[in-house]
Structure 1
Amino acid sequence: MSNPWTKKNPLMSMWLSAANRTMGAARGQATGAAKRQAGAMQAEAARQIVDFWSGKTTLSASRRKTRR
């Protein structure tokens, strides 16, 4: 008598293939988003460093003195 647990199941194979394809696409999207966010953070940090060392300091609108 053959073992039923060792037989191939085409439905399970198709389901796992679809799940693997979906997870691969989601992983690709997450990796791309993380890389874009890291690039933006590096650009902002570089801008802040240049602004600091060039003496370009700005006060936010709430800290500016206004005439009353």
Structure 2
Amino acid sequence: MANPWTKKNPLLSMMLSGANAWAGAARGIMAGQAKRQQAAATRQGTRQVADFWTAALTGGAPKKARTTKKRRS
């Protein structure tokens, strides 16, 4: 008598194939989002470093004189 546990199950095979396809798509979406977030963080950090050193070497932007508001009579 053949072992029933070793028989192929087409329903289970289709279900696992679908789950594997869904998991692969989800993994690709998550990897793409992580890559975009990492690139954005790198750009922001680079911009902050450049702004810091530009301000340090050039003295920064001149400060505006404070003006007082005139009161209405």
Which residue matches 1:61? none
TM-score (norm 2): 0.76
Which residue matches 2:26? 26
What is the root-mean-square deviation of aligned Cα atoms in Å?
1.9
Which residue matches 1:8? 8
How many correspondences in the alignment? Answer: 61
Larger Rg: 2
The gaps in structure 1 that reach 5 residues or longer are 58-64
CA–CA separation in structure 2 for the residues paired with 1:49 and 1:7: 63
Matches within 5 A, 1:25-64: 25-55=25-55, 56=60
CA–CA separation in structure 2 for the residues paired with 1:2 and 1:43: 62
CA–CA separation in structure 1 for the residues paired with 2:25 and 2:36: 17
TM-score (norm 1): 0.82
